[in-house]
Chain A
Amino acid sequence: MKRAKPLDSKPLTARQVTSRGLGAGAPRLEAAGPFGNGPISALPNANLTSENKQVAVRIGDLFLQNPVLTASGTFDPFTYAELVDLNRLGALVLKGLTLQPVLGNKPPRIAETPAGLLNSIGFQNPGLEGLLRDILPRLKDVTVPIIANISGDTEEEYEELASRLNHLPEVAALEVNISCPNVARGGMVFGTDPEVAFSVVSRVRRVYHKTLIVKLSPNVTDIAAIARRVEAAGADAVSLINTLLGMAIDVRTRRPRLGNVTGGLSGPAIRPVAVRMVWQVARAVRIPIIGMGGITSAEDALEFLLAGARAVGVGAANLVDPRATMEIIEGLERFLEEEGIKDINELVGAVRV
């Protein structure tokens, strides 16, 4: 494969771009908003952030102006809005939601590990009523798709949440979390057995009529087998990977460094595992993949696209650099320009093996 140029080199001038045959003067769309529903072909040169470079992607019925999403639970839209233009994101994924409010796990909830961190937050969230009352009304100015991330203790809870969110115009899509490693029941229990995963996704699918994304757990022997059953159950897309179950011990106190003993590992430390799993799932299913796991730069994001992801989620990097998503979007656009690539979709699954 042609070696990528450094991502921080100067953007090409318009003339250079034209001479590379990218075509000039695609009409610049002013509004930064969702594309609405309709086939992507209805929007030639559909790219809201710059001319000539097509970075828009499609996930189910969602048209994303670029492939960069926030990973659930790593991005507070209210505090981050000071540093980030939310409407430049591909989509905003909200923190994990349950039907009832959840108090969360006892601290410490964070333990730093080499090139990453363990967390055991335990779904602290205000519940569906809290979302409706305190969160969604404050996101009125967000014009990019808002994706809710849901979890439950039982299949019935998943179903009820999905059916109630189905009627909300503010929520464009659902990410069903069957992979959280930090709660006793629910979460990962649903994501580690192909038939259990099939069952819960089928029930959600019956009541949810918009784009349905299922977030997969890496804590399995064969992630492709789970992905296939999730696809068969009617998911429009899969996102992966959630965190890897891990543990860290303070050798002086001999106590686990997390209050919950074990937690989920994220950050650059897990990226090679995530890229490998995206590649495996890409060969197993036809639905689009949202790849995530330790992405901190545009180059990292491109790895996932080449492995077969249609879009990417940025998670742990948001905790360190709140502007990480913006820098990755800009880096992707620069890469396309530098490599003379018209449409980012050309890169999806383009790894040469």
Chain B
Amino acid sequence: MDLLARIERREEWGRVASEKAQAAGDGFLWRTADKSQGGRGLPAREATTPRPVPGRDEHRDGVLYVRLTLRAGELAQQAEPGQFVMVKADDGLDPFLRRPLSFHRINQERGEVQILFQVKGRGTGLLARRLPGDALQLLGPLGRGFTLEQRMFPENGAGTQRQRVVLVGGGIGVAPLLALAEKAARGGDEVLLLLGARSRDDLLAVSDFRALGAQVHLATDDGSLGHHGLITDLLDQVLREDAADAIYACGPLPMLKKVAQLADQFGRPAQLSLEERMGCGLGACIGCVVGTKGPGGQPTYKKVCQDGPVFPAQEVILP
């Protein structure tokens, strides 16, 4: 559970998008670095030294995204989509706490996991500067992940009825959905991704979902790509067309509330992956709680780190 993982690969998204990446529905993939890219040209460390992306302010706008591929065989064997690791951003005392980051991808065969995060502040800023070849201190896998619903039509015989799995992501909330999409696709489910973000540069990993054979619908707040509006508008439409057997969502709170309401309205099971500021990630500090409906309807607090971060939508009382 307490382990060191070597960074194998680092990918970085910036604000300035290329036409090609935009056409693919991806934010601009600014630069990729592999551990192996040390031989030719610039040495790997130099070649991958982060430099500012023109025209953006990572701390104010929060628009830089980084994806790290980590070699961690044990973790890859145990990890489930929706679970997370606590990552030490730096060796020093400031920032003091670890950062909770969900599994973006789990590759058991290669013994690798990926994490995808938004550079928001000092902690993620330091983490974003870690390079291929560096080791990261991790605790995990932690928490309860997504549970793929059982097929709803067993009378048709196993495998004849594909489960229509709808993934709803908002912004960086896309992170845990790729791991889930991979698992669902492996199990023969039909995957539909509904992904919304502020702008087209904030739509991440879309081509990875497409590569799995997932159907993808996009929405942006500014109308720069896909539906101009909320991603939950598209979920409403999907539910009206009776095209969802189960819903899995991760994203900002207003989005999750709307997903829960729609799931309830249309009588579909939904699981929500919640985000809350965490102290330890291990259930010790009781710092990350969410209101839930306890026995007899009594409200109670559950730990997001230990009882979640994924909860059935009908169980939580979102603030």
Cβ B301 vs Cβ A76 within 8 A? no
A328 contacts B by Cβ under 8 Å? no
28 contacts between A and B (CB under 8 A): A73-B286, A76-B284, A79-B282, A79-B283, A79-B284, A79-B306, A95-B286, A103-B301, A106-B319, A107-B276, A107-B301, A109-B277, A109-B288, A110-B277, A110-B278, A110-B279, A110-B285, A112-B97, A115-B94, A119-B287, A121-B285, A121-B287, A268-B93, A319-B97, A319-B279, A319-B282, A322-B280, A322-B284
Q: What is the CB-to-nearest-CB distance from A121 to chain B, in angstroms, rounded to a whole number?
A: 5
Closest 10 pairs (CB-CB, A-B): A110-B287, A319-B280, A76-B284, A115-B94, A109-B287, A115-B93, A319-B279, A268-B93, A110-B277, A110-B279
Cβ B289 vs Cβ A319 within 8 A? no
B88 contacts A by Cβ under 8 Å? yes
Which residues in A have some Cβ–Cβ distance to B below 8 Å?
A: 73-76, 78-80, 82-83, 95, 103-104, 106-112, 114-117, 119, 121, 124, 267-268, 296, 316, 318-320, 322-323
Cβ B301 vs Cβ A112 within 8 A? no
Nearest CB to that of B99 among chain A residues?
A112
Cβ A112 vs Cβ B96 within 8 A? yes
Cβ B278 vs Cβ A75 within 8 A? no
Q: A103-B301, A267-B96, A296-B93 are in contact. Are A110 and B288 (CB under 8 A)?
A: yes
* Cβ-defined partner of A83 (8 Å) among B1, B93, B95, B290: B1
B300 contacts A by Cβ under 8 Å? yes
What's the A-B contact tally at a CB cutoff of 8 Å?
A: 97
Q: In the complex, A106→B318 CA distance in Å?
A: 12
Residue of B93, B96, B276 contacting most chain A CB atoms (<10 Å): B96
Q: In the complex, A267→B319 CA distance in Å?
A: 29
Nearest CB to that of A70 among chain B residues?
B284
Contacts of B301 in A (CB 8 A): 103-104, 107, 124
* Cβ-defined partner of A319 (8 Å) among B284, B290, B299, B300: B284
B10 contacts A by Cβ under 8 Å? no
Cβ B286 vs Cβ A318 within 8 A? no
Contacts of A116 in B (CB 8 A): 96
B241 contacts A by Cβ under 8 Å? no
Contacts of B289 in A (CB 8 A): 104, 107, 109, 124
Q: In the complex, A213→B129 CA distance in Å?
A: 46
Contacts of B319 in A (CB 8 A): 106-107
B164 contacts A by Cβ under 8 Å? no
Cβ B277 vs Cβ A108 within 8 A? yes
Q: In the complex, A107→B305 CA distance in Å?
A: 14
* Cβ-defined partner of B277 (8 Å) among A83, A111, A114, A318: A111
B200 contacts A by Cβ under 8 Å? no
Residue of B123, B285, B290 contacting most chain A CB atoms (<10 Å): B285
Contacts of B94 in A (CB 8 A): 114-115
Contacts of B306 in A (CB 8 A): 79
Cβ A108 vs Cβ B97 within 8 A? no
Q: In the complex, A200→B123 CA distance in Å?
A: 43
Cβ B300 vs Cβ A119 within 8 A? no
Cβ A82 vs Cβ B1 within 8 A? yes
Q: In the complex, A79→B306 CA distance in Å?
A: 10
Contacts of A110 in B (CB 8 A): 97, 277-279, 285, 287-288
Cβ B277 vs Cβ A320 within 8 A? no
Cβ B93 vs Cβ A119 within 8 A? no
